[in-house]
Amino acid sequence: MIEASTQYGDLSGTVAADRADPPNGNTFKALFQEGGLDYSKYFPVAYTFSMPEEKWNRDPGDADPMFVLIADCVRRDEVGSNMEDVRETIGPGEELPVHRFSMDITLSEFLRLFKRLEVTFPNNRGGMDPHFPGNVNPVTQDYHSLSREG
């Protein structure tokens, strides 16, 4: 299973996104091709957006710090050219031979990859299971819009 993780894992959850429609937004493929990834040889199975501590803390005055965008890919000649091929080639419990490609990206470049993006972090430190045990479905009872302005 491909999952996100951090050093301490204080928060973990899920993400959902709708890709931006070109030409208004970027595409993962366009960014990685610009960086030199050969899509005729590699097929991406996952993308990771990472905020390593050393990148974030480099310059407190920087309005748009650098992050890392990662493409985990398989070789088309080894595993196939789509997710169906990957599932047929790699059985349950087998290791997936992944080739990792990374590039620096600004937050604004990253956000232009999407028309909608939602990230949810259950409070792991509060004892909440990030996958909500059993058939528990949290239901919003009401909604409060907060403001940080005076």
CA–CA separation, 147 and 149 (whole Å):
5
List the domain boundaries for the chain.
14-126
For residue range 27-42, what is the model confidence (pLDDT) as tens digits? 899 889 999 999 999 9
Structure tokens at 57: 């803390």
Percent of the chain with pLDDT over 70: 72
110 SS3 class: helix
pLDDT score recorded for residue 140: 57
Q: Are strands 14-19 and 114-120 parallel, antiparallel or unpaired?
A: antiparallel
